[in-house]
Amino acid sequence: MIEDKISITLQDISKIKEKIKGIKKDIKIEEKNDSEEYIELKKALKDLKEQVKEVEEQHKRGLAGDDHYQKLREMKLEQDEELAHLNMQLFTYLSKMPPKPFKMNVDTESGTLLVQVEPEMKIYLNGKEEKRRV
């Protein structure tokens, strides 16, 4: 008796899902815009995007010879490496602590950080998880 009701309900669900598929197809057909104005605008947009990309690439190629830009990139790389090293050091220190959650506040140049450490070795700085950097 209950199996028959389940079977009928599943059949009804299947029918409605098929109707929804058909309706979605019809909606998609109705929403399609194939007017000449729309097609021309799409082509113009594509051309503009290509032009913007080309200008950006030219600008980056121009920066390749700029000494100041290259020094900035090197400085960023050095800072990224130092950050990764300090992050590794932080996780090493945390691995030596007992596996229990704790919170602490740390004063930094940019303000006070709320530090939360979870037993799964996750660190949250102001509520945002700090990822290990390698």
- The percentage of the chain sitting over the pLDDT mark of 70, rounded to a whole number, equals 90
Residue 107 CB contacts under 8 Å (≥ 6 apart), including other chains: 113
DSSP 110: T
Residue 23 lies in a domain: no
pLDDT at 124: 65
How many angstroms separate the CA atoms of 26 and 21, rounded?
A: 9
Residue 103 lies in a domain: yes
Token duo for residue 34: 């194939």
pLDDT at 87: 84
Count up the domains in the chain and report the number.
Answer: 1
Inter-residue contact 125 to 113 (CB < 8 Å): yes
pLDDT, tens only, 70-118:
999 999 999 999 998 998 888 888 778 777 887 888 888 888 888 787 7
pLDDT reading at 42 higher than 90: yes
Inter-residue contact 113 to 126 (CB < 8 Å): yes
Q: Which domain holds residue 65?
A: 36-130
